Structure formats: structure tokens, C-alpha cells
């Protein structure tokens, strides 16, 4: 493939960049730093809170999320008990001695992801909200709250709890309204079940409905993709996410021998453009390569286009003054990550089901959550890369003055080779003006090639050395 300038473009689907650095660049922290020390001196007046539930009824063929099938022997109770202990320890670290005296801890956004948070029953969901509110101090009815669900678990009693506790956004993974395509993606669902779940969601009057769809499924064509798009649009969702299919190691489709080549790249790019053009014609605005939003939807429920291995960042609602590039993140649960300005940290990560079970069992048996176990230090160069990457992948682009105010330099000074290459490929919008870095429509289409091009050599090396488990 070639750009409009004649420069040969890379493959469009190198990697979905949902967070930087990726968890596969994390390593065990030998000093196991105390959370109290990590958060000392950090701003805590606009934090984001994420609670991770690592359970699903089934595992889709494309899924590499940190989740297990089922929860035997009251595992959900033990998991919530551990989540409660972790929340208590984290809140103590945020508010204890050395944390800025009387400076308040405030959460500007909250999200429940997974896995499937609505795998929990109604009573357990109520307890999950209590942990967020009573342990962490998040005012769920006063801030944007986003929750992930699935067709099978979006039951009336669960949805009633979420609506009552202040949920402003519900995201449902449909992927395809065509039953044959759902089977090809190893996703056991029928369209009738999906439509019934969407009806229940609309009955709750939760303000924002997001529907996830996937393109590039085996056997999918332009007409069948249009059928899924039309079926989703019939519900007038406030948001739609269009995801290219990836075949990742240790997933069901990987074990079936599914894979891709240049023809698959071309198919996905063709379907992406078809979906993008249809949604734009239907009045949606493009927020990123994946996200489309109705302009009349709530302005304080924007979401970052950055789907984590635990759907973490994708779940985040955004207020107008919230920026994932700069603000602190508190993640609770064994698949969640947390961000300070100098360290990103989490627990161990795996895709293989046996490994995931072991990590969950270790988490539920843990009593002391006062230290960071696994993570990656963030120096000045990595902070610059993260800010540029996560800003540039948004359709609105990046304010150069804001970057200079934060880092004391301009993006063109810090990343001249990368930005020159993006310009040569036609990925930057020449009409954006000198004060704004913004992708062209072609640049947005190639977001999954552009993002990885901004990885540092050390992060690339760490990711390459990571042994998938």
C-alpha cells in the first residue's frame, strides 16, 4: 500500500495501542515500593477509579482479556472480599501521613470492566458499588460511571442496580448481529438474545449506550457488515465502537489456526472505511479510529479509545477537563493497572486460562495490598511518548501549546523523525495549523500502525522479551 505522497505505508494493523507502555513491558518490581510513597506528592483531585472483574460466562475466540470462565466455590465472594481489602489499603495510602495534609482525594470518573462486571449478580454488583463509594470515596451518582456488560448478563435486576447506583454509560459487546459471524468468532449468542438485551438496557434509561462491533471476521462481507451496522443503528446508540479483529496468541482463534495476510489487511481496511463513512453519514462524529459518538449525547461521557487487556481505559468516561495522558489512575482488582507520574503498576498478566486462575487465586488469598508488585517506571521520554501517542490517536488532535507547557519543548523537537515520516505518509492533517497536531482521515485509518511507531526502543525490547503465558 502506498500513501498519497508515494511513500510505501506499513501494514495498517500492527497492534492495537490501548495504553502505553503495554503490560507486556511490565516486570516484577524488586523494591516493591509502598503505595503511600508512590502517591506522595501526586495530584489527587481528579483521579480515575477502575474496578476489574475477571469473570465471564464464556470466552470468545478473539479474546485475550484477563478473565476466566465461571467462578466456582463462591469465588466471586472471595474476590470481592479481596477487592475490599485492596480498596481499604489503597485509600489509606492516598489519605495517610505524607499525602498532602488536608488536600482532598477526589475521583472525576469511575468504571467497572473486566471480564464482564455483570457476571456478578445484583447483590454482588451492589457490593461492588459500595466498595467504590464507601471504601474509596467515589461519588458514583456525581461522576460519570461506565460499566461493561454482555447480552447474556444484561438482566433486568442487574441493570436496575446499575441504574440506581448512578451508571451513566453502559457498553455492550455485540461484535456481530449475524449469527453465523458470531459463531465464526467463537461467540455463542443469537441475534434475538442481543436484541432483547438491548431492549432491557434502553428500558433502564441509562443515558449512554455503547455498542461494540468487530470487522474482519471470517466469512464477513460488505453486505453482512452493513447488516450489523444497520442493526446497531436501529437502537440509536450514543456511541459505537468499530474494532478490527486481531488474532492474538493463546486465544481460541489462534488455536484454530486463524490468521491474517495482506488480503485480510485490505478487507479490514475496506470494512473500516465502509463503517466510518456510514456512521458519518448518519450524523455521528468520529472521536478516534474506533470510536464514533452522536453529537447530541452527553458531553461528559466521552471515552478514551484505549482498550486495555482488561478493557480498563476503554471503560473510562471523561469529563471535559479529564485527560488520560496526565491524570492519576487507581485500578482495583487483579487485572487492573494504576498510574502515577513515575510508575505504572499492576499485578501479573496472563492469557492462558490456567495461568489466569493461579493469579486470581493468589489475589484472593492476599492480605497485604500496600505495595506495588509489577510495573514499569516512566521517565521523561516515556511520558512524552505517552502524551503524544494518546493525544494524536484522538481525532481532535493535540494542542502543541499544552504539550510545551507540560514538557518545556515542542513535539517536533522531541520526535522529528517520527513526525516527518507521518507527514510523508500523509497521516498528518496539513490544514490543522501550526498550533495543532492532528491526523488526517488516512492517518486515523492507520492508527494501529502509527501508535506502535512511537514506542521507545526499551519498551519494544521489553515487549519482545515477554514470554506470553
Domain boundaries, the chain: 23-377, 380-465
Per-residue model confidence (pLDDT) at position 308:
41
Stronger pLDDT, 275 or 259, i.e. the higher one: 275
Per-residue model confidence (pLDDT) at position 326:
55
Question: What does the DSSP 8-state code read for residue 131?
Answer: I
6, with CB counted inside 10 A (0-12, 13-18, 19+), is exposed
pLDDT band at 239 (very low <50, low <70, confident <90, very high): very high
237 Cβ neighbours under 8 A, 6+ residues apart:
209, 210, 211, 294
Give the chain's mean pLDDT: 88
Per-residue model confidence (pLDDT) at position 323:
47
Per-residue model confidence (pLDDT) at position 355:
86
Using the predicted structure, report yes or no on whether residue 195 has a pLDDT greater than 50: yes
pLDDT band at 259 (very low <50, low <70, confident <90, very high): low
Using the predicted structure, report yes or no on whether residue 386 has a pLDDT greater than 70: yes
Per-residue model confidence (pLDDT) at position 309:
43
Please tell me the least confidently modeled range out of 73-77, 228-232, 302-306, 357-361.
302-306
State the average pLDDT over residues 62-80. Answer: 82
What is the rounded distance in angstroms from the CA atom of residue 216 to the CA atom of residue 214? 7
Q: Tell me the three cell numbers of residue 365.
A: 488469598
pTM assigned to the model: 0.90
What is the rounded distance in angstroms from the CA atom of residue 89 to the CA atom of residue 107? 17
Task: Give residue 222's Cα distance to chain centre.
Answer: 27
Please tell me the least confidently modeled range out of 110-114, 150-154, 181-185, 365-369.
181-185
What is the rounded distance in angstroms from the CA atom of residue 331 to the CA atom of residue 52? 7
Using the predicted structure, report yes or no on whether residue 301 has a pLDDT greater than 70: no
Q: What is the pLDDT of residues 440-453, one digit of tens each?
A: 999 999 999 999 99
Fold topology of 380-465:
Arc Repressor Mutant, subunit A (1.10.10)
Q: Tell me the three cell numbers of residue 380.
A: 521523561
The beta strands (E) that lie in 150-280 are given as 169-175, 208-215, 239-244
Half-sphere exposure of 8 (CA within 13 A, CB side): 2
Task: Please list the residues that pair with 317 across neighbouring strands.
Answer: 303
Q: What is the pLDDT of residues 77-120, one digit of tens each?
A: 999 999 999 999 999 999 976 555 456 899 999 999 988 999 99
Percent of the chain with pLDDT over 70: 86
Stronger pLDDT, 259 or 461, i.e. the higher one: 461
101 Cβ neighbours under 8 A, 6+ residues apart:
none
Per-residue model confidence (pLDDT) at position 254:
44
Collapsing DSSP to helix, strand or coil, 257 comes out as coil
Q: Which of 41-50, 181-190, 298-307 has the highest mean pLDDT?
A: 41-50
What is the rounded distance in angstroms from the CA atom of residue 168 to the CA atom of residue 40? 31
The answer to whether domain 23-377 has CATH 2.60.40.10 is: no
Start-to-end Cα distance in the chain: 34
Per-residue model confidence (pLDDT) at position 77:
97
Q: Tell me the three cell numbers of residue 76.
A: 466471586
210, with CB counted inside 10 A (0-12, 13-18, 19+), is buried
Half-sphere exposure of 469 (CA within 13 A, CB side): 14
- The Cβ of residue 132 has, within 10 Å, a number of other Cβ atoms equal to 25
29, with CB counted inside 10 A (0-12, 13-18, 19+), is middle
75 Cβ neighbours under 8 A, 6+ residues apart:
55, 360, 364
State the average pLDDT over residues 205-210. Answer: 96
Amino acid at each position: 500500500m502506498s500513501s498519497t505522497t508515494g511513500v510505501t505505508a506499513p501494514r495498517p494493523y500492527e497492534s492495537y495501542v490501548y495504553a502505553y507502555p503495554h503490560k507486556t513491558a511490565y516486570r516484577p518490581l524488586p523494591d516493591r515500593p509502598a503505595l503511600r510513597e508512590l502517591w506522595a506528592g501526586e495530584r489527587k483531585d481528579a483521579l480515575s477509579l477502575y474496578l476489574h472483574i475477571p469473570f465471564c460466562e464464556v470466552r470468545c475466540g478473539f479474546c485475550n482479556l484477563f478473565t476466566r470462565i465461571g467462578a466456582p466455590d463462591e469465588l466471586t465472594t472471595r474476590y470481592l472480599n479481596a477487592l475490599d481489602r485492596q480498596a481499604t489499603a489503597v485509600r489509606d495510602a492516598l489519605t495517610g501521613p505524607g499525602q498532602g495534609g488536608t488536600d482532598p482525594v477526589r475521583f472525576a470518573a469511575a468504571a467497572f470492566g473486566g471480564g464482564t462486571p455483570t457476571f456478578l449478580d445484583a447483590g454482588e454488583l451492589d457490593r461492588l458499588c459500595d466498595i467504590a463509594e464507601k471504601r474509596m470515596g467515589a461519588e458514583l451518582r456525581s461522576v460519570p460511571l461506565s460499566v461493561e456488560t454482555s447480552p447474556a448478563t444484561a438482566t433486568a435486576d442487574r441493570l436496575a442496580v446499575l441504574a440506581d447506583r448512578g451508571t451513566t454509560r453502559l457498553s455492550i459487546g455485540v461484535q456481530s448481529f449475524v449469527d453465523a459471524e458470531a459463531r465464526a468468532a467463537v461467540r455463542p449468542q443469537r441475534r434475538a438474545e442481543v436484541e432483547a438485551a438491548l431492549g432491557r438496557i434502553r428500558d433502564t434509561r441509562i443515558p449512554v449506550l455503547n455498542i461494540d462491533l468487530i470487522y474482519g471476521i471470517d466469512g464477513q462481507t460488505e453486505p453482512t457488515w452493513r447488516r450489523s451496522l444497520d442493526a446497531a443503528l436501529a437502537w440509536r446508540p450514543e456511541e459505537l465502537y468499530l474494532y478490527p479483529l486481531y488474532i492474538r496468541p493463546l486465544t481460541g482463534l489462534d488455536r484454530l489456526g486463524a490468521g491474517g495476510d495482506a488480503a485480510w489487511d485490505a478487507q479490514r481496511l475496506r470494512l473500516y472505511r465502509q463503517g466510518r463513512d456510514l456512521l458519518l453519514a448518519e450524523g455521528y462524529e468520529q472521536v478516534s479510529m474506533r470510536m464514533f459518538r452522536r453529537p447530541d449525547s452527553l458531553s461528559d461521557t466521552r471515552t478514551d479509545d484505549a482498550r486495555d487487556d482488561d478493557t480498563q481505559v476503554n471503560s473510562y468516561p471523561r469529563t471535559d477537563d479529564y485527560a488520560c495522558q496526565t491524570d492519576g489512575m487507581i485500578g482495583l482488582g487483579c487485572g487492573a493497572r494504576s498510574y502515577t507520574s513515575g510508575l505504572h503498576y499492576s499485578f501479573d498478566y496472563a492469557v492462558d486460562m490456567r495461568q489466569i486462575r493461579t493469579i486470581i487465586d493468589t489475589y484472593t488469598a492476599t492480605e497485604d495490598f500496600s505495595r506495588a508488585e509489577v510495573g514499569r517506571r516512566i521517565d521523561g521520554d516515556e511520558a512524552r511518548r505517552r502524551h503524544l501517542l494518546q493525544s494524536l490517536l484522538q481525532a481532535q488532535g493535540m494542542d502543541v501549546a499544552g504539550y510545551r507547557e507540560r514538557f518545556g519543548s515542542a513535539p517536533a523537537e522531541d520526535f522529528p523523525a517520527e513526525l516527518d515520516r507521518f507527514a510523508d505518509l500523509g497521516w498528518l492533517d496539513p490544514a490543522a495549523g501550526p498550533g495543532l497536531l492532528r491526523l488526517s482521515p488516512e492517518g486515523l485509518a492507520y492508527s494501529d500502525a502509527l501508535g506502535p511507531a512511537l514506542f521507545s526502543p526499551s519498551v519494544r525490547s521489553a515487549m519482545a522479551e515477554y514470554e506470553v503465558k
